[in-house]
Amino acid sequence: MLIIRAWTTLLTSSATVCRLTSRSLQDFAVGFHAGRLIADGGTLQIGIGSLSDGLVHSLMLRHADNAKYRQLVEAIGRQVPPGIGDDHEFQEGLFGASEMFLDGFMHLYKAGILKREVFDDITIMRRANAGMTLKDAGRGALMDGGFFLGSQPFYNFLNALDDDERPRFRMHGVGRINQLYGGSEALEIEQRRHARFVNTCMMMTATGAAVSDGLEDYQVVSGVGGQYNFVAMAHAMDDGRSILMLRARRDSNGNSSSNVVWQYPHNTIPRHLRDLVVTEYGIADLRGKTDEQCIREMLGITDSAFQDDLAETAKKAGKLDPDWVIPDSARNNTRQALEHAFEPFVESGLFPEYPFGSDFTAVEQRLIPALTTLKTWSQSKPALLAAALKGKPGKFPDELERLGLQSPSNLKEHFYARLVAAALET
């Protein structure tokens, strides 16, 4: 099955994939909850990945079709910590201050959301934040970034900016973007008011530590990047908040596990910097809470299949009242409930497979879910044999040509062609 796995990797890594598989629905749901924490008139930092794409899509929906957005808020029925964000369309808009200026910010600019101006004069900046009329201030900046990184349409967008608009998108050294040091802290705090620093992680402990860069055996998955800096900066600002996004559940090779765990051998963000955590099931506000309060909050956004074991572990450790029970409102943290809440909105087209377009051809878009199905089948030899017996390669010439299987030269390739055909019919 090496050829199948290789093609799966090739096709799913050549562009951001946002199909409404269970994984994609998770991403949209995480992004939707995180989007409700973004305050109008504030500042946004985001990282790369499908969870951030889900957040950007949510903000655009909130601004462009607020009535539909609020219907989804009602359908999901989860509360947002008071005083942090809102569900209104953007009047003042957002300013971007992020290590990476990427496609998401371009889409927010085009949608009329990235529009809050900042100025490098603290007196003017304070007047702007106070809502005062600015005379002779000129046009302010809309985006401060360290790296400009994105797709070809993103670079085309940058190249097409005219001489009047281009200065509004500024490149700075990472040292200025990622921290509040160097003598201009007061100005930068004024510029970055109501900042929301949004990053992703792989796992969270029940007491609020984040695992973002490595596995249990210390194999490195990613560099820490600016994540620690942004989390620390959020705690240094009176109105700044750190938001860490993750999927509550992980499914791999037929096995499921929780991304909310009791403990882990190492962490990227320590528990003393805990703040806002978002999964597909909602938001946990951990800042200033005791360990027991944090555990209760985290259990509220944990997949229901893993809540009882985690709660029992916490009780045995003396960190959770033995008489405390998981509230009914959190007992339906299931994929089925998530699909039910989102179903009418998916069917109405609010959550398309590729919300920001795709580099994939139509043939490749048909192949991606088929190859994902094959990857699942590869865990069972009986399932592979049954599929091969049903596959009819003659029905899918274009797809097989894309994989180099249109003219199989040996028995193995004939077998692969039948498998792909069977998956395409699933």
- Domains of the chain plus CATH, in order, are 18-345 (3.40.1080.20), 362-425 (no CATH)
- pLDDT for the residue numbered 372: 81
Q: CB count, 10 Å around CB of 115?
A: 16
Tell me what pLDDT residue 44 has: 98
pLDDT in tens, 5-14: 444 544 444 3
Q: pLDDT value at position 21?
A: 64
Are the C-beta atoms of residues 393 and 415 closer than 8 Å to each other?
no
Cβ-based neighbour number of residue 139 at 10 Å: 11
Query: Phi then psi for 251, rounded to 5 degrees?
Result: -120, 125
Q: Which two tokens stand for residue 291?
A: 């360990």
Please work out, in degrees rounded to the nearest 5, the angle formed at the alpha carbon of residue 331 by the alpha carbons of 330 and 337: 95
Please report the pLDDT score of residue 18 as a whole number. Answer: 37
Q: According to the model, what pLDDT value does residue 3 have?
A: 47
C-alpha of 362 from chain center: 25
Whether 276 and 308 have beta carbons less than 8 Å apart is answered as no
Segments of the chain with pLDDT less than 70: 1-22, 253
